[in-house]
Structure 1
Amino acid sequence: MIKISASDVEEALLKASKELNCSCIDLEYEVVQEPSNGFFGCFGKKDAIIVASIKERQKITPQPIETKKYKIEDAIKEIKEEINELFSHLPFKLNEINVEKYDSNTISIYFKGEDSALLIGEKGYRYKAISYLLFNWINPKYGFNIRLEIERFLANQEEMIGTYLEPIIKEIKKTNETFSTKPFDGVLVYIALKILRENLPDRFIMIKTNEYNETYIVVTSNNADNK
């Protein structure tokens, strides 16, 4: 506890907060003396005097957030109903969206229909945005990863990137030299990253951006100096 004097209570509180290194709202104080201007602003003038200390903060014990554990079959049923309801309000001609089990930790979501290609967008940017939104809904609520497929877009991209990376992976396995891929657009960089990490688990693999703001992947050995 400290004792502070100033021309008024407000100034005294500011001084106390600075001295105690806290905000004014965190002060607990008592006014010992009210300020007085005295006669003609001179004779008998008194400063405000306060005694102040920092409030004792009440400790709040965070309550654990209860999350419902879903069986994958129950999650699929709910997701299928909700996702079809959601996309029925959008101006796209789509077939019923198929939702099924991909593996024990992953739910497959498959879009088909006359306008399904519009959900992919230029360079896969719209595909990536939809995938991001669906994951941030499904994973926190149901606890599963997702595999989003739109008219074989993902499968075609995986095949194309796999063909490009196959000879590169073979060459990397023969040497400890650092290798950089060509630049990738949109979702392609994440497909390439997944393939490289699956095939080269003992290597450092990272995404980087060049001076032209293009995204590419660098593969180094465990002994390489990553800079």
Structure 2
Amino acid sequence: MKKFEAKTLEEAYELAKSEYRCSITNLEIEIDQQPRKGFLGIGRKSAIIRVIEKNSRREFDKKPKENHFRKKDIKIEDVSKKIENACCNTTKENHEKPVLKKVPKVEEKQEIFDNFYEVEEKQQISQIIVRKDKDEILLEVKKGIDSLFTNTCYEIDDIKVEFYDEETLYIEFTGEDSALLIGKEGYRYKALSYILFNWINEKYGLMLRLEVAQFLKNQEEAIHTYLEPAIEAIREKGSFKTKPLDGILVHIALKRLRDEFPNKYVAVKTNVRGDRYVLVNEYRSKEQ
């Protein structure tokens, strides 16, 4: 059984037909992986199929039945004699009449492991990011985002893309319909932020600050108002745990508390229900 990989299933089928030089109706095909286009190159997958000629499958399936013996039927002396005779006969046959059997091509175990680690090494090498010039990064990101929203039905102004700081890109959506990108309880904002962050972080090694119709600004103001009495409580008691926070709020709270208390242990935690909150404590609590 041979494996073929291509961008689409049709191309993979054509490769199989060319390899076996027969009609596709004479082939048995197993699909290992369906192709995916991905988004902006992220999540792209090729089509992978395994193919064997139907006639070869019949020959491969015709295997002699193995003999099963009970433990009491086996005698060590008889077995040893049979092994010696078999070895002698095999040696003679190999010298006299070499037997050729048509066996499907199967990769050896060592080759499989070598290929596996070779892929891993290639993946690690591909993760090394060479930082481009700032103007080049802004141009590429702007072009990618514009192409994503060109054919949408939303009335959106020109999308702003600039550097917020050395390690963060600032992207802002404004316009008549920009608020529709936020969605109920911010679910569209979270999805858009997740997609853009994965693309920008993987390709350029940068963080993302996404503003949509002043949604981020309003969230920051709300969480800062909530944290004011919490900051006073931390100064008095030394520790604090926020209420469960959702999405971008937990990151805003984390940044504000770390700025306020650089000498304390400030981290995001998750409770048994999966809710996320920010914990502020002394550094010795981190070791415990």
Task: Report if TM-score (shorter chain) is over 0.5.
Answer: yes
Q: Using the TM superposition, give the Cα deviation of residue 68 of structure 1 relative to its aligned residue in structure 2, in angstroms.
A: 4.4
Partner of 1:223: 284
Residue 139 and residue 55 in structure 1: after superposition, are their counterparts in 2 closer, same or farther (change >3 A)? closer
Residues in 2 aligned to 1:86 and 1:225: alpha-carbon distance in whole angstroms: 43
Return 5+ residue gaps in structure 1 as ranges.
Answer: 1-7, 13-30, 35-53
Residue 213 and residue 145 in structure 1: after superposition, are their counterparts in 2 closer, same or farther (change >3 A)? closer
How much identity, in percent, do the aligned residues show?
A: 43
Return 5+ residue gaps in structure 2 as ranges.
Answer: 1-62, 68-85, 91-107
Aligned match of 1:121 in 183, 192, 200? 183
- 1:78 aligned onto 2:140: yes
Aligned 8 A contact 2:265 2:286 in 1: no
Partner of 2:228: 166
When normalised by structure 2's length, the TM-score is: 0.54
Aligned 8 A contact 1:123 1:186 in 2: no
Residue 155 and residue 11 in structure 1: after superposition, are their counterparts in 2 closer, same or farther (change >3 A)? farther
Partner of 1:130: 192
Partner of 1:204: 265
Partner of 1:108: 170
- 1:88 aligned onto 2:150: yes
Residue 166 and residue 9 in structure 1: after superposition, are their counterparts in 2 closer, same or farther (change >3 A)? farther
Partner of 1:147: 209
Residues in 2 aligned to 1:113 and 1:225: alpha-carbon distance in whole angstroms: 45
Aligned 8 A contact 1:220 1:226 in 2: no
- 1:97 aligned onto 2:159: yes
Residue 80 and residue 175 in structure 1: after superposition, are their counterparts in 2 closer, same or farther (change >3 A)? same
Kindly provide the amino acid, as one letter, of the partner of residue 280 in structure 2: V
Residues in 2 aligned to 1:181 and 1:221: alpha-carbon distance in whole angstroms: 16
Q: Which has the higher helix share?
A: 2
Corresponding residue SS for 1:95: coil
Q: Which has the higher strand share?
A: 1
Partner of 2:237: 175
Q: Relative contact order: is structure 1 or structure 2 higher (C-alpha 8 Å, sep ≥ 6)?
A: 1
Aligned 8 A contact 2:129 2:205 in 1: no
CA RMSD of aligned residues (A): 3.1
Q: Using the TM superposition, give the Cα deviation of residue 130 of structure 1 relative to its aligned residue in structure 2, in angstroms.
A: 0.9
